[in-house]
């Protein structure tokens, strides 16, 4: 059996959904678990909606209508029979959403976020499963929240491997024996109290890898709008090149530093069971894409990973004491408490610098807490450039018209925190 993952871009409109059906007809001749993300930019919209709900903004209804219209127009294109049960199904999800929005917020922001944002994947999978069934591709819709079990770290659920594996064996695998295709959600999970959690933005790849791990799948294919893993993000760089093969090791390094083509958590479960991962183009499904697999020899091609909208924090003990083990352990505890991930760090005698995502919801409470013992300075927005297998020429080229705030080199990797030069 195999696991396929289709991201938001691959299901962003009716044409795209039809293309998914065509890919499955050509490439799913064995039992296949199809993991799907929310359609297009739905997750971003639902994030906006969550903020509007928590802050009691006036645009709640507007956002809700945008979401309804968007999904409604895809439904119209895919289901000419207006009596099709799917119309009712989707209406019910929106009713559920409305109920959530009508209640007073009573839990943490992150808790509400997960209950609301997760519905993007519920909507997309219901639509896709129904369309595939109509299109002759018999499949079963599965609610993954009853299978992938997490703790209650909202927005970043930690997966309970033992429990989830048992549920996969008892609930998911039996479905695969009768029906060859299962359509289910990426990105979301459930807690023991039956609340929904999410696994972190772009987490559908991780879901696909987990399901492959639990089912001992033969392979995972992530279908993308790029030909495979490229040496740089085409959003920022011209003349990108596709990498044909990567080792798990290279892939984890690239994604850890922010190559957004695969979610960083995806590699570990696959490496642990030696399951190959293909990253292929849904626009050119006959092409081989990139293969990520076990192997010794690393990739020596230069790769660039560019992260925008970062913040550089500079943390200094108020009493002028050194940045030593004790201070550091206090600082790290706070980063972990607020779930803020460090992308790069550097210390001097009395200052510790950290580059991380400029996510105000997380950073503000962190800074407040840090300020009890430290003076905190920050610089935002800044950019983080990571170059794997670097050389001087590329460094000079990429740092043109930029001020380099901090820089770090290891044998293979160079990282620079930069700001646009304003002169």
Beta strands 344-347; 181-185: pairing state? unpaired
Classify residue 231 by burial, with Cβ atoms within 10 Å: 0-12, 13-18, 19+: buried
Please identify, using beta-carbon distances, which residue of 8 and 189 lies nearer to Mg ion: 8
Q: Which residue is nearest to ligand ASP (CB)?
A: 204
Neighbour count for residue 114 (Cβ, 10 Å): 27
Looking at residues 324 to 363 of the shown chain, list those that interact with ligand ASP (rule: CB under 6 A): none
- Which of 37, 185, 207, 383 lies at the binding interface for Mg ion (CB under 5 A)? 37
Tokens of residue 423, six digits: 């002169």
Task: Answer yes or no whether residue 184 interacts with ligand ASP by CB under 6 A.
Answer: no
Looking at residues 32 to 61 of the shown chain, list those that interact with ligand ASP (rule: CB under 6 A): 37-38, 43
Please choose which of ligand ASP, Mg ion, none residue 180 contacts, taking the beta carbon within 5 to 8 angstroms, the exact cut-off set by kind. none
Please choose which of ligand ASP, Mg ion, none residue 201 contacts, taking the beta carbon within 5 to 8 angstroms, the exact cut-off set by kind. ligand ASP
Residues in the chain: 423
- Which of 201, 341, 343, 402 lies at the binding interface for ligand ASP (CB under 6 A)? 201
Tokens 């039956």, located at residue? 194
Tokens 């996969």, located at residue? 168
Stretch that binds Mg ion, among 4-12, 115-123, 191-199, 262-270 (CB under 5 A): 4-12
In angstroms, the CA 294 to CA 221 distance is 16
- Which of 7, 190, 227, 289 lies at the binding interface for ligand ASP (CB under 6 A)? 7
Please identify, using beta-carbon distances, which residue of 200 and 365 lies nearer to Mg ion: 200
> Who's near 415: CB < 8 A, 6+ residues apart?
257, 344, 384, 385, 386, 387, 407, 408, 409
Beta bridge partners of 414: 387, 409
Tokens of residue 51, six digits: 């903020």
Stretch that binds ligand ASP, among 201-209, 317-325, 342-350, 397-405 (CB under 6 A): 201-209
Residue 198: CB minimum distance to ligand ASP, A: 8
φ, ψ of residue 124 in degrees (nearest 5): -60, -45
Neighbour count for residue 82 (Cβ, 10 Å): 8
Please identify, using beta-carbon distances, which residue of 180 and 202 lies nearer to ligand ASP: 202
- Which of 4, 5, 8, 331 lies at the binding interface for Mg ion (CB under 5 A)? 8
Q: Do residues 1 and 30 make contact, with C-beta atoms less than 8 angstroms apart?
A: yes
Tokens 């739905």, located at residue? 42
DSSP state, residue 401: T
Count of residues near ligand ASP by CB under 6 A: 12
Please identify, using beta-carbon distances, which residue of 167 and 262 lies nearer to ligand ASP: 262
Count of residues near Mg ion by CB under 5 A: 2
Please identify, using beta-carbon distances, which residue of 280 and 388 lies nearer to ligand ASP: 280
CA-closest candidate to residue 14, choices 75, 90, 80, 89: 75
Task: Answer yes or no whether residue 203 interacts with ligand ASP by CB under 6 A.
Answer: yes
Task: Answer yes or no whether residue 189 interacts with ligand ASP by CB under 6 A.
Answer: no
Please identify, using beta-carbon distances, which residue of 180 and 357 lies nearer to ligand ASP: 357
- Which of 114, 122, 142, 186 lies at the binding interface for ligand ASP (CB under 6 A)? 186
Task: Answer yes or no whether residue 227 interacts with ligand ASP by CB under 6 A.
Answer: no
CA 359 centroid distance within chain: 15
Task: Answer yes or no whether residue 266 interacts with Mg ion by CB under 5 A.
Answer: no
Angle at 36 between CA 67 and CA 262, to 5 degrees: 110
Interface residues toward ligand ASP, by CB under 6 A? 7-8, 37-38, 43, 120, 186-187, 201-204
């Amino acid at each position: 059996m195999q696991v396929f993952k289709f991201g938001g871009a691959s299901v962003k409109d009716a044409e795209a959904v039809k293309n998914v059906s065509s890919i499955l007809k050509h490439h799913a001749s064995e039992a296949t678990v199809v993991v799907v993300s929310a359609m297009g930019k739905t997750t971003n919209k639902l994030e906006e909606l969550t903020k509007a709900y928590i802050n009691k903004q006036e645009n709640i209804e507007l956002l809700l209508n945008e979401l309804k219209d968007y999904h409604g127009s895809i439904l119209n294109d895919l289901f000419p029979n207006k009596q099709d049960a799917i119309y009712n199904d989707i209406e019910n999800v929106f009713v559920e959403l409305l109920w959530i929005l009508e209640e007073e917020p009573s839990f943490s922001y992150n808790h509400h976020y997960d209950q609301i944002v997760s519905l993007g994947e519920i909507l997309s999978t219901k639509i896709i499963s129904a369309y595939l069934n109509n299109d002759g591709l018999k499949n079963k819709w599965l609610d993954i929240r009853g299978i992938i079990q997490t703790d209650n770290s909202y927005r970043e659920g930690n997966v309970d491997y033992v429990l989830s594996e048992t549920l996969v064996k008892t609930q998911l695998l039996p479905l695969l024996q009768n029906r060859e295709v299962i359509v289910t959600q990426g990105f979301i999970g459930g807690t023991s109290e039956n609340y929904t959690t999410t696994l972190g933005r772009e987490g559908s790849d991780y879901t696909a890898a987990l399901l492959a791990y639990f089912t001992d799948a033969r392979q995972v294919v992530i279908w993308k709008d790029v030909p495979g893993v490229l040496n740089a993000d085409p959003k920022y760089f011209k003349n990108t090149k596709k990498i044909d093969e990567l080792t798990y090791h290279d892939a984890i390094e690239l994604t850890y530093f922010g190559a957004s083509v695969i979610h960083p958590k995806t590699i570990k479960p696959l490496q642990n069971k030696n399951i190959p991962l293909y990253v292929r183009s849904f626009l050119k499904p006959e092409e081989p894409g990139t293969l990520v697999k076990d192997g010794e020899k690393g990739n020596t091609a230069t790769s660039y990973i560019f992260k925008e909208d970062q913040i550089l924090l500079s943390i200094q003990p108020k009493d002028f004491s050194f940045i030593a083990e004790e201070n550091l352990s206090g600082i790290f505890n706070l980063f972990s408490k607020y779930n803020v991930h460090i992308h790069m760090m550097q210390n001097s005698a009395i200052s510790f610098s950290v580059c991380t995502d400029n996510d105000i919801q997380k950073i503000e409470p962190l800074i407040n807490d840090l300020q009890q013992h430290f003076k905190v300075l920050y610089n935002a927005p800044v950019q983080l450039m990571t170059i794997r297998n670097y050389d001087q020429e590329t460094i000079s080229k990429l740092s043109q018209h930029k001020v380099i705030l901090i820089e770090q080199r290891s044998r293979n990797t160079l990282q620079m925190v930069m700001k646009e030069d304003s002169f």
